[in-house]
Structure 1
Amino acid sequence: MAYKTLLTIATSAERCDLAITGAAAIATAHDAHLDILALGVDRTQVGYSYVGSGAVILQAALERSEQEAKEIEAAARKAVGEQDPTLRWTVEAAVSQLGALTDLVAQRARFADLVILPRPYGPSQGAEAEAVIEAALFEGHAPVLVLPDSGAGRAPNPRRVAIAWNQSAEAMSAVRQALPILKAADMVSIVVIDPPQHGPERSDPGGMLCQMLVRHGVKAEVTVLARTLPRISDVLARHVRDMNADLLVMGAYGHSRFREAILGGATRNMLEKAEVPVLMAH
């Protein structure tokens, strides 16, 4: 498998440069095509309105979203114009209400080998940033590479990679989706935190995954860590810093009684303080 179609989705003219620059570098490194979706989001949630005013509110919101989409598209074209001239790319503008965003993003993500997005948390981020990641992961079933605020860094060619391994189907999916990157890395650390005393890997935590990766030519090793901090995400983040990792690969977890999908606690914790790019899959 190789990454040949990359997708990034811009929902802000001010922040689109970060994701586009990172996505363009990765696309160039993998000889891939970059699709950019400039998405104007109607965030209006009309709870009630006076008779006759509803249509006016909706029309005004639509016009505002269309103008925003045009501004994002212009910023995206400017950003991509500053990238490597050999980059193959397309830009498309669209408008969506916040509640209908999932279907649009999922439809685009299904046909991408990798979706590249900025970190969804921060003072300037709206609710749509997390909704875009959730839609790509849980409905589009695509791997998502989340870039930290510092940008892609060494994401185009990560040399040192950490894998958060807990034997889950989500973690296994993330590993399979990351294989093109793992095979090119100099060192891959399979991180197991507080392995269970009972289970199929109790005598050799991470051993079966390591064997599979080595057979693919990956330079992999297993690191078993104790849970010495309150949250597993804290232990994992410290290990990423200690090994000077360029990339973290982990499963994305979703659980909620109120929504179809919402980023789980460990996933959200890692993204909130991500210092390196995080590749996730569900």
Structure 2
Amino acid sequence: MTYNSLFTVLTDPALVDETLTHAIAVAEANDAHLDALCLGVDRSQTGYYYAGASAVVLQETISRAQEDAEEIDRLVRARLDKSTIRWAAEMGVAQLADIGRHVAARARFSDLVTLPQPYGEGRGAELEAVTESALFEGRTPVLVAPAKGAPTPNPRRILLGWNESPEALAATRAAIPLLRMAETVHVVVIDPPMHGPNRSDPGGLLAQYLARHGVKTEIDVLSRSLPRVSDVLLRHMTDMDADMVVMGAYGHSRFREAIFGGATRYMLEQATVPVFMAH
């Protein structure tokens, strides 16, 4: 498998440059085509207008979203015109509650979606919805670009978070083109079950599977010495000087992660390198 058709969604003029820097780097490394959706988002919630509000209020929010879409489209085209990749850009407007439909319809016909970090200062509420739509409805792997990190289209050292879940396996399979390029892939297993079927060789079957694809792996078995699994992964990411993290996304329900937190949310908040995810 190769990444021949790439996709990205831009909803904030302030994030256009950092997102396209990563998307263009991936497209160049894979000689791929990049499709960009320039989306103005009406962030108002239908049904929550103050009493007596007229259609003028609704029109104002739509007009503001249209202006955002036009500005994003202008910035995207100016940046992509300077690149050497094959690309196409599309402009549109969507309400926050309906954004997933537009993203998923296009993401499902791509090999990889590059998106900005959805959490953190200055990040709009729509970014989480865009990320989840690509993963769940689009069924497409997502490469989340860190806010200040440099693009790494050819990572040398990859941390692969492994817990034997379907999500982790989906991410591993989708990331094989990247894993094969790496000098070393560290399969990280945290607190493997003492009575599980693979207790004597945690991660062994995955390492065998990856070796048959030409991936050079090392297995790192770690104890959960910090409160959250994501904290252990982040510390190990720093210790091994990883260029990228590969992991399954949303092993718990999205509602549970939104309320109580989870490995996916914390990794997307704190990671300083690109995070490759699939569900």
TM-score (normalised: structure 1): 0.94
1:128 aligns with 2:126: yes
Shift in Å, 1:200 = 2.1
Deviations 1:67-122 (A, max 9, x none): 11000101111222333x2x000110010000000111111110110000111112
Deviations 1:108-149 (A, max 9, x none): 110110000111112211100111101111111110000111
Distance 1:194 1:258, change over 3 A: closer
1:160 aligns with 2:165: no
Instruction: Name the counterpart of 1:56.
Output: 56
Matches within 5 A, 1:96-175: 96-153=94-151, 155-175=152-172
CA distance in 1, matches of 2:5, 2:142: 13
Pairwise CA RMSD: 1.8
Please state whether the residue corresponding to 1:204 is helix, strand or coil: coil
Please state whether the residue corresponding to 1:89 is helix, strand or coil: strand
Are the counterparts in 2 of residues 148 and 274 from structure 1 also a CA contact under 8 Å? yes
Instruction: Name the counterpart of 1:228.
Output: 225
User: Once the two structures are aligned, what percentage of the paired residues are identical?
Assistant: 55
Instruction: Name the counterpart of 2:174.
Output: 177
Moved over 6 A (4+): none
Instruction: Name the counterpart of 1:47.
Output: 48
1:18 aligns with 2:18: yes
CA distance in 2, matches of 1:111, 1:150: 29
- The residue type equivalent to 2:90 in the other structure is E
Instruction: Name the counterpart of 1:34.
Output: 34
Matches within 5 A, 1:258-273: 265-273=262-270
Are the counterparts in 2 of residues 115 and 143 from structure 1 also a CA contact under 8 Å? yes
CA distance in 2, matches of 1:73, 1:164: 36
Unaligned 5+ segments in structure 1 are none
CA distance in 2, matches of 1:146, 1:257: 20
Please state whether the residue corresponding to 1:41 is helix, strand or coil: strand
Query: Relative to structure 2, which stretch is displaced further, 239-248 or 261-270?
Result: 261-270
CA distance in 2, matches of 1:173, 1:258: 21
The number of aligned residues is 277
Please state whether the residue corresponding to 2:97 is helix, strand or coil: helix
CA distance in 1, matches of 2:172, 2:256: 29
Are the counterparts in 2 of residues 255 and 262 from structure 1 also a CA contact under 8 Å? no
Instruction: Name the counterpart of 1:192.
Output: 189
Deviations 1:153-185 (A, max 9, x none): 3x2100111100000000000000000000111
Shift in Å, 1:50 = 4.3
TM-score (normalised: structure 2): 0.95
Shift in Å, 1:262 = 8.9
Are the counterparts in 1 of residues 149 and 272 from structure 2 also a CA contact under 8 Å? no
Deviations 1:167-219 (A, max 9, x none): 00000000000000001111001000100112221111000000000011101
Are the counterparts in 2 of residues 252 and 263 from structure 1 also a CA contact under 8 Å? no
Distance 1:36 1:206, change over 3 A: same
CA distance in 1, matches of 2:259, 2:76: 28
